[in-house]
Every structure is written in structure tokens, then in C-alpha cells.
Amino acid sequence: MPFTLPKETYSGKINEVKIGSIDIGGENTLPFLSFEGTVAKKPIVALEVQDVVPQDWPEALTKIYGKVMKDPVVWAKFCETELKADAICLRLAGTHPDKENRSVKEAADVVAKVSSSISVPLILLGCNHAEKDTELINPCASACAKPSIIGKAQEKNFKTFAAAAQAFNHYLIALSDLDINLAKQLNILLSQSGFPKEKIIMDTMSSALGYGLEYTYSVIERCKLAALHQNDNMMQMPIVNDIGPEAWKAKEAKADIAEWGDTEKRGILWEAVTGITFLTAGGNFLIMRHPEAMKLVKQTVNQMI
């Protein structure tokens, strides 16, 4: 008796986001299940660049980037040309009030220089301080040399972010706190403010291997099922996972403990496994830090496809 592979059918489809060389979304089935539907696009990976030299990055990262970290323009070009990142994520970490508290003008100048120096798409992120990010976003969105992805809009500041993204023709990352209902609510609020839902990318918050990864996985999976199975058009946005900060602050990724094996290899694997896990949950693109971890993710994606 011949075996018939059981197949699920889905009525929904993930919105497609196409900006420069970034082309994600468009699938009408769960990740990598091409026998059930169309897996339209490969996930992509952006490498992170900061506007200041990070003080909390372990040696496994700093020895890769070395002197280029002193200049975000040189750093971004290095990630594009030497490391072959699909996109550059510029994080304005130096603007945080508890760090260097850099001014809006300083931030906008960095954005303008980095944006005009790279040919791959730019993802522009603030410092994750809601009030400071609200001050930054309009001048920095204006400084982008081309349409980009900006973020992260939160419930506290989504109107300002939506207006900036709309005014300068950018896509928008919407950040919610590990809750499918909060993610949907923010998408609805952005849509009601007049921002096109087709230009929203969801960030349901990320965690790292061993630090809440299973819970995050379930939230992403539920978002995808709502989008595809229930055809909920307020959940059909692609998903980004900003995993670099989470993976590299894990003790297991950076602690120099001989019994745990080589520290650098462990850190690379910690970030790579975190990224691969979120892609299997339903993530459409990742923001990462280590180029070797990025390579492992891409190799795994190619094998799974």
C-alpha cells in the first residue's frame, strides 16, 4: 500500500517585504515545509554595527572586528564587502542616556554616513530607551540615504515611529513583549494610525538558547499559525529576530571555563543554534553579531531547503 504524505493546507499568506536586496516573506506554509505550500524566500541575516565601540562584547567578537569598530562607516563596509552580510543593522547604542548619551545630531550624522556608504539595505535601530528613541527617530529616518527598515516602534512611541517611516518611505519594526495579543494589538494600532500593514515587520522579542528560547519559540509559532491557519491579516507580517545581544550576553557564550570547552567555538554555536531555532519557529530574518555564526545559519538553511 503506497504511503501518502499527510499535508496541512493554509488559507493565509505572509506579506512580502522587498527593499533593495532584501526580499522576505511571501510564504503560505510553515517554515521549510515546501511540500505543503510555497516557501517563497530564504531567510536573510544582517550583521550588527554600533555607533560606538561596544564595551560589553567578548573577545570572540572584538578580535573579528578589531580596529574597524572605531568607525561605524568602516565597520559597516567591512561587514558588507568582507563578511558578505545580507544587510547592515546600525544600532545607535551610544545615544542611550545611561551610556554616552550622544545627541540627536551626532546620531543623524552617523546614520547619513553609514547609509550612503553601503549598497546593501540598512536596518536602523535606536538604543531601546523609548523616550530617547522618540527624539531620535525623525531626524535619523530623514538622514537615511535610501528607503530602510527602522525600529523599534513600541506602544509608547508607535505614532512617532509610524509618522517617520511614512514620511521617509521606510519599513517599520514593531516590538512587543513576548505576547501574541500584544503583537497583534500593536499592529492594529499602527494600521489605525495610517501606516500600511504591508510595511510592518514584527519583533516579538528574542531570547537565547537556555534563556527562555522555548517560550519565545512558542510565541513566534503561534503568530505564524494565526497568520496562516486563521488567515488573520493583522498577524501576516514577517518576523525579525534580534538575537545578537541575547546570545552574547549568555554566560555560556562567553565564560572562560575550561570544562565547558573552547570559549569562542561555544559562543559561535550559542548564537547559531539560537538563530536556527527561531528560523524553524517562523522567523524571516535575523540580526546577528558573529560572521561564523551567520555562516552556520546560512549553511543550515541551504541544507533544509
In tens, the pLDDT along 262-304 reads 999 999 999 999 999 999 999 999 999 999 999 999 999 999 8
pLDDT of 223 over the 90 cut: yes
Question: How many structural domains compose the chain?
Answer: 1
At a CB cut-off of 8 Å and minimum separation 6, what does 195 contact? 162, 165, 166, 172
Q: What is the mean pLDDT of residues 7-34?
A: 93
What does the pLDDT average to over 181-186?
97
Residues 6+ apart with CB under 8 A from 300: 272, 276
pLDDT of 9 higher than 90 = no
pLDDT of amino acid 153: 96
In a domain, 291, yes or no: yes
Does residue 5 register a pLDDT over 90?
no
55 and 86 in contact (C-beta within 8 Å)? no
Q: Is residue 4 part of a domain?
A: no
Q: Supply the pLDDT for residue 174.
A: 98
Average confidence (pLDDT) over 30-58: 92
Q: How many angstroms separate the CA atoms of 103 and 195, rounded?
A: 28
Q: Are 185 and 153 in contact (CB under 8 A)?
A: no
CA–CA dist 277, 126 (Å, integer): 26
Per-residue confidence (pLDDT) for residue 302, from 0 to 100: 93
Amino acid at 60: A
Give the least confident one: 10-19, 37-46, 137-146.
Answer: 37-46
Q: CA-CA distance, 160 to 140, in Å (whole number)?
A: 12
pLDDT on residue 1: 73
Range with the poorest average pLDDT among 35-49, 67-81, 124-138, 283-297: 35-49
**What are the tens digits of pLDDT across the range 59-85?**
999 999 999 999 999 999 999 999 999
Residue 34's Cβ-side half-sphere holds a number of Cα atoms within 13 Å equal to 8
Let me know if residue 163 belongs to a domain: yes
pLDDT for the residue 158? 96
Is the predicted pLDDT of residue 258 greater than 90, yes or no?
A: no
DSSP category for residue 14: P
9 within some domain? no
**Which amino acid type is present at position 212?**
G
Q: What CATH number is given to the structural domain containing 222?
A: 3.20.20.20
Residue 181 lies in a domain: yes
Does the residue 6 lie in any domain? Answer: no
Q: Above pLDDT 90, what percent of the chain?
A: 90
8 found inside a domain: no
Mean pLDDT, all residues of the chain: 95
The answer to whether residue 193 sits within a structural domain is: yes
Range of the domain at 296: 17-304
Spatial contact of 148 and 19, defined as CB atoms under 8 Å apart: yes
Report how far residue 112's alpha carbon sits from residue 95's, in angstroms, rounded to the nearest whole number.
16
The residues, ordered by sequence, that sit 6+ positions from 74 with a Cβ below 8 Å of its Cβ are: 68
Q: Evaluate if residue 39 carries a pLDDT over 90.
A: no
How far, in Å, CA of 127 to CA of 224, rounded? Answer: 28
